[in-house]
Amino acid sequence: MAKFFALVKTMFLNQQRAMVIRSNKFKKNPKGVSTWLILCIVFAPLLALMAIQMYFLGQFAIGTDVHEEVLATFMLVCQGMVFMFSIPSMLNVVFSCNDAERLLSMPLTPITIFSAKITLVYLYELATSLIMSLFILLPYGIGAGLGVQFYLFLIFAIALLPLLPLLLMSIICFPFAYLTSYLQGKGFVKTILTTLFFLTIMGAYLFFMVSVMGMEGADQDMSFSDVAVLLVNVFTKNSQKIQTFTFFNYWLATAMVSNDVATILLNFLATVGTNGVALVLAVLLSSVLYKKMLAKSLEKTSQKTKESQFLQEKQSNKLFALAICDFKRLLRESQLGFQVLAMPILIPIIMVILCVSLTLDGEMGQVWQQPLMANLAIIFITFYNWLMGISGNVLALFPISRERSSFYLMKMMPVPLMVQLKAKLLLSTAMITISYLLTAIICVIILPIEWYFVFVLTLLPILFSFGSSCVTMLLDLRKPILDWTNFQTSLKNSANTWWTMLIAFCLLLVTLMVAGVFVLLYQSAQIDLFWLLYVVLVALGVVYCLVAYSILTKNSEKYFNRIEI
Amino acid sequence: MIQIQNVSKTYGNSNKKAVDNLTLTVNDGEIFGFLGPNGAGKSTTIKMICGILSIDEGAISIDGIDIAQNPMEAKKHIGFVPDTHETYENLTANEFLNFIGTVYDVPSKEIKQRAEKLLSIFELDKVLNNPIKTYSHGMKQKILVVAALLHNPKVWILDEPLTGLDPQSAYQLKLMMRNHADEGNTVFFSSHVIDVVEKVCDRIAIIDNGSLVVVDTLDNIRQNKDVSLEDVFLKVTGANVEDYNG
């Protein structure tokens, strides 16, 4: 056990200290703390809103018999998030790690290495569980007036929630990782397979969620209380399904709300047992396969071929050469390639689900009959699409950090910094354009809107994304993390992502205000000037692009020179 | 030619200078050996010459071009082989060399011609289409050497270039360094292997604690032919040789 704890501690500290050394011209300041403080303050209202909704739900559930169902379902939502987002971490931290050579040379058993790595992922996912529990489960318990044992078991739930999805994911990932360990040197094929694997898991997860909860339409005019009543009805109606499909959570939920000591104990033991079984299975698999997989990942295949000769590639200008080189490297890098490739596929899939729900019969389907609602729905889709794009586009979020140890080449090349940055902007914009264009085409096919909305649905998010890419590039230049051993754990929760979202929310606010003027015009004088709204939004997008690009141009050199390796 | 004038560098909030008031001239046509114990400031100096690190005080010029004032032009004259073997590992050697040729403005016809010649010297022509990450340390080192020479730089800077190379390749590399210098170019070479420095270099500098301790030809440094460069190195860097001898 001492080795296990030492390994976890070392890997955790190493991950946390992945920072860049800056020159003495820019002395350390407490800006890091203030950044997180600002972000917390800004995002607090969103979390508070979620908590209030849960409180109301709890109040409306008083007197009903759905506490176990509600808790079990929301635990499942939390587990679902851990489950889905742990795939990259699982594949990159546990199965395809950069430190395999070092670890295998040490007197450590495969079980110790595997357990330590799973623990590392678990520690990072614990934050998700904590936030979900504090802002969903806790307010529900307060609203529903649940007893002391709820709060006691909540602590247990926070610790336990991420465990089962992680263990399940590791069990699922074992055969996949074992197969792909034979693909050394075929990075692109591995990236494609990882993307397909991720999409399959996601599809299965969505199917599972729909099977448990069913599809329930909600009216946009609903108040908190209406939503709460609707949800209580949904939970009552789906009680049996929830008990069957989420039995692992249902037992814990029962232990949290039951009044009978025997029931509490029995359900608590059942919960521990379920996790224990998953743990034993994962450990058994690791003892058989893990060492082989790690060793396989270190095998190199630089076999000599007979007829190999230098092939002169068609020479392009430096900008395109840089972008193409970047693209090839990313697609062949297992830690990043799958995210780059998954994004253009995933966003349109999510939009298909959204579009289908917007064309369902009933009140949601009638949105398209009214010009006001139809135009607002288009703007909603546009900006929802944009938000998804910028928060998932690793090309734009970490253009500098992803260079890692080859960053020195950026400094070394006789190519002006702005040309290098433009190449990165070009690549991220090109990738996101594919995604937006696909989404726009899908929307025009599924939704009852005119074909020319393809341009609106593509151009607007591209413009705003380009602006956001400039901002994130500057953020990454300002504080890059270059010595990461694992992309997922080092970067996915970095301040870049949160700042991008914050700026996006501010822009959304401006957009809403602009749209509000046109809505008022329509409602007060029946003047339909929505075409002008799109023109104004495009103009806003262009201004955002120009301002962001100009800030990038002015400051990039300064920040770039600060980075010392 | 490399000219380093009163260059100083301090990292972060450290009170100690990593490089302290360094002045050095490396002439055309010579192989210049740069020696020093670990942490003496060798890599910092090399990174400043290459434009990777900014210079706090002083100036460095490459073939008369100031690296801080005109970095793009100066970098075109440099071929750099780092000590880390880090490169774009997911590219094949073929792709990487084509990319380097493009960013260093090597004319289209010359890329193939020069790459084929250099690759055959290091026997890399059979693994051209494999990703660089599948190469051994030595092979990665070789591909970095080829990439550094692809644009025929006037100044060649090598940081620990012989690490990981097999004897044949090490011999080839030393020969290439000699030929490059004999053609009127500059070779700046950092190493811990004193024997190699002794055999290959025309002039030698020893740096310790960020400051230049010695710079001269090998004969002048030794003064006495019975004294080896290793003895001089240990003496001027203040190593306690008696400790090693027990």
Same domain, A288 and A408: no
Domain presence at residue A411: yes
Quote the CA–CA distance of A192 and A331 in Å, as a whole number: 9
Residues B100 and B56 in one domain: no
Q: What pLDDT does A25 receive?
A: 47
Q: Which two tokens stand for residue A350?
A: 């999510």
Task: Search chain A and give the residue with CA nearest B111.
Answer: A312
Q: What is the pLDDT of residue B154?
A: 93
8 A C-beta contact, residue B55 and residue B68: yes
Distance to chain B for A318, nearest Cα, Å: 6
- Name the domain count of chain B: 2
pLDDT for the residue A223: 59
Helix (H, G, I), strand (E, B) or coil at B62: strand
Q: B132 and B37 share a domain? A: no
Does residue A470 carry a pLDDT above 90? yes
Residue A218 pLDDT > 90, yes or no? no
Q: Which residue of A has its CA nearest to B17?
A: A24
DSSP A493: T
Judge whether residue A560 has pLDDT over 70: yes
Query: Could you tell me how far CA A251 lies from the centroid of its own chain?
Result: 29
Q: Which two tokens stand for residue A430?
A: 């090109």
Could you tell me if residue B163 is inside a domain? yes
Quote the tokens at residue A439.
Answer: 């989404």
What pLDDT does A362 receive? 54
Least confident of A189-198, A424-433, B93-102: A189-198
* Structure confidence by residue, pLDDT tens digits, A292-309: 777 776 665 555 555 567
Window B:150-189, CB contacts with A under 8 Å: none
pLDDT tens per residue across span A126-163: 887 888 888 888 998 898 888 888 888 888 888 888 88
Residue B24 resides in a domain: yes
Is residue B226 less than 8 Å (CB to CB) from chain A?
no
Asked whether residue B6 falls in the same domain as residue B121, the answer is: no
Mean pLDDT, chain B, integer: 87
Any idea what DSSP says for residue A462? H
Residue type for position A385: N
CA–CA dist A437, A448 (Å, integer): 17
Contacts of residue A313 in chain B, CB cutoff 8 Å? Answer: 94-95, 98
pTM exceeds 0.80: no
Q: Which residue has the higher pLDDT, A541 or A200?
A: A541
Of A23, A302, A305, the CB nearest to B134: A302
Question: Which residues of A are less than 8 Å from B104 in CB distance?
Answer: 414
* Residue B175 and residue B222 share a domain: yes
**Higher per-residue pLDDT: A362 or B8:** B8
> Across the beta sheet with B57-62, what order do the strands follow?
B17-26, B2-10, B57-62, B65-66
| Interface contact flag, A21 B11, Cβ < 8 Å | yes
Adjacent-strand bridge partners of B124: none
| Segment among A212-216, A327-331, B232-236 with least mean pLDDT | A212-216
8 Å CB contact between A431 and B111: no
Q: Are residues A433 and A460 in the same domain?
A: yes
B80: contact with A, CB 8 A cutoff: yes
Residue A97 lies in a domain: yes
DSSP state letters, A380-428: HHHHHHHHHHHHH-HHHH-TTGGGGGGGHHHHHSSS-HHHHHHHHHHHH
Rg, chain A, Cα only: 25
Say if the Cβ atoms of B91 and A409 lie within 8 Å.
no
The confidence score (pLDDT) of residue A37 equals 67
User: Would you call B48 exposed, middle or buried from its count of C-beta atoms within 10 A (0-12, 13-18, 19+)?
Assistant: buried
pLDDT given for residue A550 in this prediction: 95
Phi, psi dihedral angles at B37 (to 5 degrees): -65, 170
Kindly state whether residues A6 and A139 are assigned to the same domain.
yes
Q: With bands split at pLDDT 50, 70 and 90, how would you rate the model's confidence at A227?
A: low
Beta bridge partners of B156: B79, B187
Where is pLDDT greater, at A239 or A222?
A239
Amino acid at A394: V
Shared domain for A283 and A415, answered yes or no, is no
| Residues present in chain B in total | 246
- CA–CA distances in Å: residue A434 to residues A401, A429, A437: 24, 9, 5
Residue found under tokens 């800056």? A22
Determine the average pLDDT of the residues in A187-207: 79
Residue B177 placed within a domain: yes
The pLDDT of residue B244 is 46
Range of the domain at A257: 1-12+40-207+240-298
Q: Considering chain A, what percentage of its residues have pLDDT values greater than 90?
A: 11
Higher pLDDT, A449 or A214: A449
Measuring CA to CA, how many Å separate A26 from each of A49, A69, A216, A478, B75? 39, 54, 54, 11, 26
- SS (HEC) of A52-111: HHHHHHHHHHCCCCCHHHHHHHHHHHHHHHHHHHHHHHHHHHHHCCCCHHHHHCCCCCHH
For residues B241 and A44, the model is more confident at A44
Phi, psi of B205 (to 5 degrees): -125, 140
Q: Can you give the pLDDT at residue A36?
A: 63
DSSP state of A511: H
**Which residue do the tokens 């050579």 mark?**
A101
pLDDT of A509 > 90? The answer is no
Interface contacts A/B by beta carbons within 8 Å? 137
Say whether both B157 and B51 belong to one domain.
yes
Mean pLDDT highest for which of A220-224, B156-160, B230-234?
B156-160
- Same structural domain, A93 and A139: yes
CB contact under 8 A, A21 and B125: no
Q: Which structural domain, as residue segments, surrounds residue B217?
A: 2-77+153-245
Contacts of A411 in chain B (CB under 8 A): 50-52
Cβ distance of A416 and B72 shorter than 8 Å: yes
Asked if A181 and A329 sit in the same domain, the reply is: no
Average pLDDT over residues B70-95: 87
The closest CB to that of B52, out of A301, A333, A408, belongs to A408
**What is the Cα–Cα distance from B141 to A318, expressed in whole angstroms?**
25
Q: Are residues B217 and B162 in the same domain?
A: yes
Run of H or E residues at A367: none
Amino acid at A133: S
Scan residues 14-53 of B and list those with Cβ closer than 8 Å to A. 14, 47, 50-53
Would you call B90 and A329 a contact, using CB atoms and an 8 Å cutoff? Answer: yes
Contact by Cβ (8 Å): B77, B184: no
The residue of A302, A418, A561 whose CB has the most chain B CBs within 10 angstroms, and thus the best one to mutate to test that interface, is A302
Higher pLDDT, A118 or A488: A118
Considering the domain boundaries, does residue A379 fall inside one? Answer: yes
CATH of the domain at B71: 3.40.50.300
Mean per-residue pLDDT, A465-486:
85
**The pairing of beta strand B17-26 with beta strand B2-10:** antiparallel
Q: State the average pLDDT over residues B73-83.
A: 90
pLDDT bin (cut points 50, 70, 90) of residue A364 is low
Task: Verify that A128 and A56 share a domain, yes or no.
Answer: yes
Of A197, A9, A194, A91, nearest to A488 by C-alpha is A91
> Is residue A228 one of the residues assigned to a domain?
no
Name which residue leads in pLDDT, A498 or A153.
A153
For residue A91, name the pLDDT band (cuts at 50, 70, 90).
Answer: confident
Domains identified in chain A, total number: 2
Q: What mean pLDDT do residues A498-506 have?
A: 81
The answer to whether the beta carbons of residues A537 and A460 sit under 8 Å apart is yes
Give the per-residue pLDDT at A300: 58
pLDDT tens digit sequence for B158-185 = 998 888 788 888 888 899 899 999 999 9
Q: Answer yes or no: do B57 and B38 share one domain.
A: yes
Q: What is the pLDDT of residue A22?
A: 44
pLDDT tens digits, one per residue of A14-39 = 766 654 444 444 444 545 555 666 66
More confident residue, A480 or A311: A480
Taking a C-beta distance cutoff of 8 angstroms, is the pair A460, A382 a contact?
yes
* Same-domain check for residues B172 and B60: yes
B191 touches chain A (CB under 8 A): no
CA distance A366 to A309: 64
Which chain A residue's Cα is nearest to B91?
A: A329
Position A199 scores a pLDDT of: 79
Q: Which residue of A has its CA nearest to B117?
A: A310
Examine the domain organization and report whether B106 and B172 are in the same domain.
no
Question: B172 with B231, same domain?
Answer: yes
Q: Which 86-145 residues of chain B touch chain A by CB within 8 A?
A: 86-91, 94-95, 97-99, 101-105, 108, 111-112, 115-116, 119, 125-131, 133-136, 139
Q: Is it the case that residue A530 has pLDDT exceeding 90?
A: no
Nearest-neighbour CA in chain B from A321: distance (Å): 6
pLDDT at residue A477 is higher than 70: yes
Q: For the residues A191-216, what does the mean pLDDT come to?
A: 73
The answer to whether residues B176 and B209 belong to one domain is yes
Q: Are A302 and B126 in contact (CB under 8 A)?
A: no
Of A306, A310, A318, the CB nearest to B119: A310
pLDDT in tens, A398-435: 888 888 888 889 998 999 999 999 999 999 999 889 88
Quick one: average pLDDT of A332-339? 76
Is B82 within the bounds of a domain? Answer: no
Residue A24, pLDDT score = 44
